[in-house]
C-alpha cells in the first residue's frame, strides 16, 4: 500500500488542494482561497497526498492551537471518501495530536458536521465524546463539538 506524503500547504496550489478537501467534506461551509490563507496564518494546516501514485489528493488536517488557560486545542482530520478505510485518517489524526501536544495542549477537541457520518464514527472510535450540537447562523446542518475523553499524554 502506498504511503502518504504530508506537508504544510505553502503555495496557492497546495492551499487550493486543502481548500478542495475542506469544501468537499464541509459543503455547507465553503471557504474561499482567501479564507484558507487566513486560516493558515492562525492554525497549523496540512495536506496529504498518496506518495508515488501520481500524488493523488487524500485529505487535509487542521490544528487550532490552545488559546487560553484551558490549554484546549482542536484537531481535525479530513479524508476524501475514495481514500477512507485505509488508515490515512489515523495518520493525519496522529500527526495532529502530536502537533497539539507540542503546542502545549492538555485537552483535545474536534468538530464534525453532523451530516458527516463517517467523520463522526471516526471521532467516537478514537475516544471523543459529544459535548455540544449547534447551528451556525444561516446554516441548516448542525455541527457537533466533541472532546477527547482520555488525557492527552
Which residue range is the domain that position 64 belongs to? 4-148
Is the pLDDT at 152 greater than 90? The verdict is: no
DSSP string, the chain: ---EEEE---SHHHHHHHHHHHHHH-TTS---HHHHHHHHHHSEEEEEEETTSTT-EEEEEEEEPP-STT-EEEEEEEE-GGGTTSSHHHHHHHHHHHHHHHTT-SEEEEEEETT-HHHHHHHHHTTEEEEEEE--TT--S-EEEEEESS---
For 99-128, write each residue's pLDDT tens digit. Answer: 999 999 999 999 999 999 999 999 999 999
- Using N-to-C axis directions, what is the helix angle for 12-25 and 33-42, rounded to 10°? 100
86 within some domain: yes
Dig out the grid coordinates for 103 from the structure.
503546542
CATH number, domain of 132, equals: 3.40.630.30
* Predicted structure pTM score: 0.91
Residue 31: per-residue pLDDT:
96
Number of domains the chain is built from: 1
138 within some domain: yes
Backbone angles phi, psi at 145, to 5 degrees: -90, 135
109 within some domain: yes
40 within some domain: yes
For 76-92, write each residue's pLDDT tens digit. Answer: 999 999 999 899 999 99
Dig out the grid coordinates for 147 from the structure.
472532546
153 within some domain: no
Q: How far apart are the first and last CA of the chain?
A: 30
143 within some domain: yes
Dihedral angle of Cα 143, 112, 66, 98, to the nearest 10 degrees? 180
Amino acid at each position: 500500500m502506498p504511503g502518504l506524503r504530508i506537508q504544510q500547504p505553502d503555495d496557492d496550489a497546495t492551499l487550493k488542494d486543502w481548500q478542495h478537501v475542506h469544501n468537499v467534506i464541509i459543503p455547507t461551509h465553503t471557504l474561499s482561497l482567501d479564507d484558507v490563507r487566513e486560516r493558515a496564518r492562525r492554525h497549523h494546516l496540512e495536506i496529504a497526498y498518496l506518495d508515488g501514485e501520481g500524488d493523488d489528493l487524500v485529505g487535509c488536517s487542521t490544528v487550532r492551537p490552545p488559546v487560553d488557560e484551558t490549554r484546549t486545542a482542536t484537531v481535525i482530520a479530513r479524508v476524501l471518501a475514495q481514500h477512507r478505510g485505509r488508515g490515512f485518517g489515523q495518520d493525519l489524526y496522529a500527526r495532529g495530536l502530536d502537533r497539539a501536544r507540542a503546542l502545549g495542549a492538555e485537552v483535545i477537541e474536534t468538530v464534525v458536521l453532523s451530516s458527516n457520518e463517517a467523520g463522526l464514527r471516526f471521532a467516537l472510535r478514537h475516544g471523543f465524546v459529544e459535548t455540544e450540537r449547534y447551528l451556525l447562523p444561516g446554516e441548516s446542518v448542525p455541527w457537533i463539538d466533541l472532546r477527547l475523553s482520555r488525557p492527552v499524554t
